[in-house]
Homo-oligomer: A and B are copies of this chain.
């Protein structure tokens, strides 16, 4: 069984008919005359409730029966938002797959605890960095990754605009970057992770992932809405990699006001079902259009119970600045990757020193909070 709540705008006189039409449209898409008793019982969504919302819309709650809901991820997307996406002012606002549906999904391979184990870090948020911009030589990018690791950072990732011309160029890029981070780790005794960007054609993914694994890379960044959400699930299930999701393209689905899909469902629930360990969340107050409520909603669903699926990390990013660290920790808690691009790279002339400065702010904040009288 899978429960979906849609927020719809329509005349009150029409809402019961609309609710029924959604229940049918999403499952058997047929006139009532063709829907026999057995098809109705096995597949058609069951109307649970219709509630008015303060803004004049209605919350329509439907339960999709087990046989409709226990399906591969592409079919779940089709079930919960396939044809109704073609209406207007019908927003998927809540999604609750039952445990039986979730049992088909592995979820995050590492999740919150697994990544802490891998990094050996407890009791504080992680510091993440992006190497960029595109056009920088791979030697320089690799040195940046290494300097970040030397400065004590936790994970460093490619910019999501990095594209390799071919597999050889990709292999060279990931080999040099991973080597720089491994060398730095060997010097510091740290366990900094490097995550390479995986933005490659569908038929090539296995070859690229295997090249990354061959270079001892432990994680990948993907843009699930550009690459295909189920493609990402397949990668996450098939390879022992930390998977970080970039929100590129995802706003097309959730920034449409009264239409589309709630960002918490998309970046939280569905991304966890796809096996993502870390999700970048556009940070409120940054360059991207994100409110504290939206961000909190995504973060909440990355951590909420979801069958036996592991909790995942939130990585607020997109114009995050050094002085925002205390507020970000206070707001989003310790199971957060504080992910910096421009603010870290332009902080000073030495990226190693800048990283160390940023890490000091995190550590200082965590210490202060633990000091007697400061616990809040």
Residues of A within 8 A of B (CB): 21, 25, 27-31, 33-36, 38-39, 42-43, 68, 71-75, 77-79, 81-88, 132-136, 159-161, 163, 199-203, 223, 225-231, 233-234, 237-238, 247-253, 255-257, 259-261, 282, 287-290, 318, 341-342, 345-346
- Asked, given contacts A28-B132, A228-B228, A228-B230, whether A253 binds B255 with beta carbons under 8 Å apart, the answer is no
* Min CB–CB distance A361 → chain B (angstroms): 20
Q: Specify which of A35, A73, A231 lies most central, judged by the most chain B CB atoms within 10 Å of its CB.
A: A231
- Asked, given contacts A28-B135, A30-B133, A133-B35, whether A252 binds B85 with beta carbons under 8 Å apart, the answer is yes
Please, which residues of chain B bring their CB within 8 A of the CB of A134?
27-28, 39, 43
The residue on B at minimum CB distance from A228 is: B228
* Min CB–CB distance A198 → chain B (angstroms): 9
A199 B74 Cβ-Cβ under 8 A = yes
A86 B289 Cβ-Cβ under 8 A = yes
Give the 6 A-B CB pairs with smallest separation, nearest first. A228-B228, A256-B256, A39-B135, A85-B251, A82-B248, A202-B234
- Asked, given contacts A34-B132, A163-B72, A199-B75, whether A29 binds B250 with beta carbons under 8 Å apart, the answer is no
* Min CB–CB distance A103 → chain B (angstroms): 15
B28 A133 Cβ-Cβ under 8 A = yes
B28 A82 Cβ-Cβ under 8 A = no
B257 A259 Cβ-Cβ under 8 A = yes
* Min CB–CB distance A94 → chain B (angstroms): 16
